[in-house]
């Protein structure tokens, strides 16, 4: 495994690796639930591409743990991520239907007034 604190250069790369590792986890979990006897070669190659060594006698449960460990370097450390507020402006605030309708109708009325001014 990479010893550097950040294994990615940007957010897109981080998300890309997380998606690939999630895909691997899903494949391993399905194989484990299906009580497969051996690891299919394409899955083994993808695991090794992520830098995980697969030995012949490694079970699916252990491989899942290894993929989780690999995934940790792509997760955001909340202590290092110094944002004070939420990531989205409206997190946790759900507008009522009345507020949304008023907003939409207000926008529609504004646009129709503009059209009347331009054409009239």
Residue 60 neighbours by CB under 8 Å, 6+ apart? 28, 29, 31, 32, 36, 39
Question: 101-116 pLDDT, tens per residue?
Answer: 665 665 555 555 555 6
- pTM of full prediction above 0.85: no
Do residues 18 and 74 lie in contact, with contact meaning Cβ atoms separated by under 8 Å?
A: yes
Chain-centre distance of CA 39, in angstroms? Answer: 25
Phi, psi of 56 (to 5 degrees): -60, -35
**What percentage of the chain exceeds 70 in pLDDT?**
57
Contact present, 47 and 54 (Cβ < 8 Å): yes
> CB-based contacts of 71: which residues, under 8 Å, 6+ apart?
18, 21, 22, 25
- The model's pLDDT over 30-52, given as tens digits with 9 standing for 90+, comes to 999 999 999 999 999 999 998 99
Domain residue spans in the chain? 11-72
């Amino acid at each position: 495994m990479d010893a550097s604190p950040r294994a990615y250069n940007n957010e897109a790369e981080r998300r890309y690796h997380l998606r690939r590792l999630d895909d691997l986890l899903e494949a391993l979990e399905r194989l484990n639930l299906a009580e497969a006897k051996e690891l299919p070669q394409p899955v083994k190659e993808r695991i090794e591409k992520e830098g995980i060594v697969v030995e012949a006698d490694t079970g699916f449960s252990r491989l899942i743990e290894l993929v989780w460990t690999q995934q940790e370097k792509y997760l955001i450390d909340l202590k290092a991520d110094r944002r004070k507020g939420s990531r989205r402006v409206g997190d946790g605030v759900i507008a009522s239907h009345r507020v949304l309708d008023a907003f939409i109708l207000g926008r529609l009325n504004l646009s129709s007034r503009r059209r009347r001014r331009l054409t009239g």
